Amino acid sequence: MNPSPRKRVALFTDGAALGNPGPGTTNNRMELKAAIEGLKALKEPAEVDLYTDSHYLKKAFTEGWLEGWRKRGWRTAEGKPVKNRDLWEALLLAMAPHRVRFHFVKHHHHHH
């Protein structure tokens, strides 16, 4: 008996911080939080198309940044600690049950 197919979900993130960086936060942190919360809201494993206007979020996965950071013990190529490590780790955990594909959309390009 085959398991039922995963549902397909489109997730759109647009994190922002007023006066970037705002009080104790940045656009990058807000973008990561938006992705984490969106994935955590899913009740079952799904095929997720995640649409973001954040190069930071998308390139971490599509250009291997995240893989490199993890291999270097959460250090950048320059040997500096990776910013937002707490959120990257939370995002990886939130992604684990799902199959996530990242798509880049231009800033404030609305889908109808």
Per residue in 44-69, pLDDT tens? 999 999 999 888 898 999 899 999 99
Architecture of the domain whose range is 7-104 = 2-Layer Sandwich (3.30)
CA 103 – CA 85 distance, rounded (Å): 22
Which residues contact residue 42 at a Cβ distance below 8 angstroms, ignoring those fewer than 6 apart?
Answer: 9, 48, 97, 98
* Greatest extent of the chain over all pairs of C-alpha atoms, in Å: 54
Look-up of token digits 């270097």: 72
pTM above 0.85, yes or no: no
pLDDT in tens, the chain (112 residues): 556 678 999 988 876 655 555 555 778 888 999 999 999 999 999 999 999 988 889 899 989 999 999 999 999 999 999 999 999 999 999 999 999 999 988 765 455 4
